[in-house]
A and B are shown apart, each in its own frame.
Chain A
């Protein structure tokens, strides 16, 4: 005889959750199952209190022709769904239920700030943003007086952790400074001290290059050459596009150990490896990257998350999925300990020393009180394999080695009111 100790299991929940439409107010489907399952772990309770978490994002435009690496339409969203499912699995034992509000922005539709205000008006007090920096600020300011808590899962801009910091925003995505510091630590470890920096035409590329220069100063590396990329999106070019000879020779006659490319849009960085005149490795936004997640990460329990994600989304987990997942889990983890999800209690708890988020990095992740940046190890990874993990051994800090990545307390320009 097969005894079923409860009628609902996680995959079924996530299926129901995935049916939840953007903005629809639902009696929580997950919660609805709870009273019906008699052997619930704490049988005395009424229906669990529901916590709604909103994801505001923009569906990535699909490529006009075949692109093996095109971002999937549910990038980030699938991570939110997994985070909600994980929160609900835990919530079964704590009498807490979670539901996702999906707000996909579109051309001509409501702005990010309007979408945020609408969600908060409906009682959604946690907003996860997969949006650029300007929209993060717009949302943060729009919901400033509502007590809502905002998670920045996508914008790496250092100014959001510096002069433009906001007290109601928590940054789960690592800043550019953290990414560049992680890479610089690896270069230091390898004694590859001379960098050839190639900078793309977009403003974000210049910010990334700026972070690399700061990291070089911080870790004693040298930018021995710097050139702008002026040859167009060659990584997006087809095999039958005429070869741009000047793009292959502009690396001639330089003295460097490693190329660092600054191409956040992914337009040309992947064109550079194996095309430099001198045989040199490539890192930065392409090649060897410092990031939060990669499908090849399997240690610290990551293999379980990879499997769970693949079963749920039917594809591999990407950094944005991980960052959104971690945002949703931060709410869940804090609510478990606080025994409730009132943002007035959760927001201060996120920077409390007792808060710690296990997120498949071998150490627990915490938020820096001075700028609300999530402290985290970054993986230094090439497309097929984990190469290293920052902070590297030997980089010490009086607080935690994790604070060797990014802007430290003495340097911060963030001033919370």
Chain B
């Protein structure tokens, strides 16, 4: 993450010098996986418009970009593989042996390997993406989903939706070293940039657990209350925390809101109205914008991070699920 941000800042400085960017912001490419559209929508942040729609395997969900920005990885869950797309052409150049039903994944800080949650198979698969080789399969709880990696890359966390745990996995030995029970249906795991805390959302529990990474204890449970919205509709999924550790954003599913949280005091400060059934979130590398995927309204919302305002919604494919942003 560190290096990513530095590279992004470098580019932003460069862009500032050349003066070529709208509103002084760097232009990035945003990739959105459309679960029912079997496609990836490509958005240019300079124009805030979809520039291409790429065909991929069936039920695309987790999505990420290679460290150099040249390749896009997409979980084709129903095809039991991960498609690797050329970011320049949008063509599937190869597929990775992901194990059954890959749902979410995260790239190692070094850019390789890829850590994959196999939702139907109660395991995490670790794949060398250069050699397309499975390095390890780690048994975890039922319906593994969320994948978080500590800033130093040493600890991988997987959340299992039916077991309701965050599994801590050593990335050297590929062994589960600890399990922390959280609320019902944990969907997402996000470390703070200092590596001290792990935030885990619980979709059915309606909470976000903040776990002290050193002691592996839940130190805070963040709850949500929105006037006029049933508690049952508040279903936290995607979590993103700013690099400076000041603010956190939590997507609240069918509550159609993204919560803005003071990441130090854990107080919810406001709820930003976005599209319907909001799930995943991604920052631009300069952290000026945050994109949310809104499944049932088939669009993404663009949030101005500093102003804490929704500035745009962009229609994409059918049932947008994941979002990843390239620095290029």
Contact = CB atoms under 8 A, between A and B. Distances in A.
Q: Say whether A associates with B.
A: yes
Interface of A: 1-6, 8-10, 39, 41-42, 86, 89-90, 92-94, 301, 304, 307-308, 311, 329, 333, 336-337, 356-358, 362-364, 400-402
A3 B136 contact: yes
A308 B120 contact: yes
A301 B176 contact: no
* Ranked 8 nearest A-B pairs via Cβ: A358-B184, A3-B136, A90-B163, A41-B176, A358-B204, A363-B232, A93-B179, A5-B138
A105 to B, nearest CB: 30
Contact of A336 (B134, B164, B175): B164
B232 A336 contact: no
Contacts of B181: 336-337
Contact of A356 (B119, B137, B138, B204): B204
A9 B122 contact: yes
B162 interface: yes
A6 B139 contact: yes
Given A9-B122, A90-B160, A308-B120, 12 more contacts: A4-B136, A5-B139, A89-B139, A90-B163, A93-B165, A94-B179, A336-B164, A362-B204, A364-B204, A400-B231, A400-B232, A401-B230
Contact of B184 (A39, A41, A89, A356): A356
A401 B232 contact: yes
Contacts of B160: 90
Given A6-B139, A301-B143, A89 B122 contact: yes
A400 B123 CA distance: 35
B176 A304 contact: no
Contacts of B135: 1-3
Contacts of B121: 9-10
Contacts of A401: 230, 232
B291 to A, nearest CB: 23
Nearest to A39: B175
B254 interface: yes
B168 to A, nearest CB: 9
B247 interface: no
A89 B120 contact: no
Nearest to B77: A303
B20 to A, nearest CB: 44
A385 to B, nearest CB: 14
Nearest to B120: A307
B38 to A, nearest CB: 15
Interface residues of B, number: 39
Nearest to A43: B175
A337 B136 CA distance: 30
Given A89-B163, A363-B204, A5 B176 contact: yes
A10 B118 CA distance: 13
Contacts of A94: 179
Contacts of B134: 2
B141 interface: yes
Contacts of A39: 175-176
B238 to A, nearest CB: 16
Contacts of B232: 362-363, 400-402
Query: Residue among A42, A301, A329 with the most chain B CB within 10 A?
Result: A301
A304 B119 contact: yes
Contacts of B175: 5, 39, 41
A364 B141 contact: no
A90 B160 CA distance: 9
B2 interface: no
Interface string B111-130: 00000000111110000000
B301 interface: no
A362 B237 CA distance: 12
B167 interface: yes
A92 B167 CA distance: 12
B205 A364 contact: yes
B161 A362 contact: no
Contact of A358 (B120, B136, B177, B185): B185
B161 A5 contact: no
